Amino acid sequence: MTWNLDTHLARTGTEPDPHTGALAPPIHTASTYARDSDGNPGAFVYSRLSNPTRQQFEEALALAEGGRRAMGFSSGMTAAMTICQALDPGDHVILPHDIYFGVRTLIANHFVRWGLEVTEVDQRDLNAVQEALKPTTRLVWVETPSNPQLNVIDIRAMARLTHSAGAQLLVDNTWSTPLITRPIELGADIVLHSVTKYLGGHSDVLGGALVFAKEDERCQRVVELSGEGGAVLDPFGAWLAMRGMRSLGPRLRHQCESALRIAKWLSAHSQVESVNYPGLASHPGHEIARSQMALYGGMLSFLVKGGAANALRVVNRSHLFANATSLGGTESLMEHRASIEGKGSPTPDNLLRVSVGLEHAEDLMADLDQALSA
């Protein structure tokens, strides 16, 4: 029988435990596993290499993303770091010009020194992407919608271009999750997640993941780097991630519904210059979003009239949006990204990024209204 993704997600880790019948998975904290009398290992050897709780999470995520193999990491950034480590000096990588700044910083500060060559491109312009491709290009990195400006990138077109150059396409699907966007079905080779965000969903776990469409050479290198280096998701983190995945459907649907209402309402607000949300018909990427997103996401950003000082005032006057970094939890967050990203940030200095939580949309709009109108 074929199930809907919601059903798979709701059942994450709920198969009865063979030893106890428990419907919530046990947390296997063992670091090592017994061999038989001939010295042969069983299914598990040592938890750096693989762990039953982590494996349960990895199998659930691979299924949700339609990939062949998933690997859990200790953070989204260790997932990003490991994929870079699986490239060789001299390899060329194309990054989007609007990307989670942590990834840009990590690559610029550390992997360029290792010998990776990097070009940043506005991937909304496919000709610019085509021109940036080189014979040495091995990886094209896409983030859609992008953080924090919510640019929408055409995954199908990027896959075509990337593959024509013999490179692989990685899509950071943290903001969308497989419930909204299915990058592997659209042609991506690798999907990256910060599990810390919507998959965990409660701002209480730090984790990351890579999902591979095929068990190819790059996947094998990542398996080796993960097992030999050990930047893996811990068992309790894997357990929390599975618990989050079970409620992802209803949580994210509610957040998307509220985000759309808030984005429309903000667009008409006298103190708002513009709103970035792919669900708005006026968003330049709306048509692409319609073709590759089932919903438009729980994230939005908007530009406040009156510059950075006014934007910061709005953050400080809000009661319901915590002024904190991160996203995808049950609580709403609002952040002045340019301050966080620091000098050289390409983010407009009057931009506020919002992660819409599970509070009632009307309360969130009332709170924003008082914060904007003061």
- State the catalytic residue, choosing from 104, 197, 243, 353: 197
Q: Any idea how long the chain is?
A: 374
C-alpha–C-alpha distance, residues 270 and 44, integer Å = 60
Mark whether 33 is an active-site residue. no
Partnered with residue 355 across adjacent β-strands are: 299, 333
351 contacts ligand PLP (rule: CB under 6 A):
no
The DSSP call for residue 144 is S
Identify which of residues 175 and 296 has a Cβ nearer to ligand PLP in the complex. 175
Among 62, 188, 206, 289, binds ligand PLP (CB under 6 A): 206
C-alpha–C-alpha distance, residues 240 and 122, integer Å = 36
Under a CB-based contact definition with an 8 Å cutoff, are residues 220 and 210 in contact? no
Mark whether 343 is an active-site residue. no
Residues 142-161 that bind ligand PLP (CB under 6 A): 143, 147
Instruction: Kindly state the tokens that stand for 23.
Output: 């419907």
Partnered with residue 276 across adjacent β-strands are: 301
The DSSP call for residue 20 is T
Q: How far is the CB of 194 from ligand PLP (least distance, A)?
A: 3
Residues 96-115 that bind ligand PLP (CB under 6 A): 100, 102
Mark whether 197 is an active-site residue. yes
Q: How far is the CB of 242 from ligand PLP (least distance, A)?
A: 16
Look at residues 282, 280, 279, 273 and name the one whose alpha carbon lies nearest to residue 310: 273
Other CB atoms within a 10 A radius of the CB of residue 247 amount to: 15
Q: How far is the CB of 33 from ligand PLP (least distance, A)?
A: 28
Residues 176-205 that bind ligand PLP (CB under 6 A): 194, 196
Look at residues 13, 14, 25, 31 and name the one whose alpha carbon lies nearest to residue 232: 31
Among 172, 189, 234, 367, binds ligand PLP (CB under 6 A): 172
Q: What would the x/- binding string for ligand PLP be over residues 52 to 91, using CB under 6 A?
A: -----------------------xxx--------------
- Residue in the shown chain whose Cβ atom is closest to ligand PLP: 76
Instruction: Kindly state the tokens that stand for 227.
Output: 């097992």
Residue recorded with tokens 């770091």 = 81
Q: How far is the CB of 180 from ligand PLP (least distance, A)?
A: 13
Q: How far is the CB of 222 from ligand PLP (least distance, A)?
A: 16
- State the catalytic residue, choosing from 91, 100, 154, 218: 100
3-state DSSP assignment of residue 63: helix
Any idea which residues carry the catalytic annotation? Answer: 48, 100, 172, 197
Which positions touch ligand PLP (CB under 6 A)?
Answer: 75-77, 100, 102, 143, 147, 172, 174-175, 194, 196, 206, 208
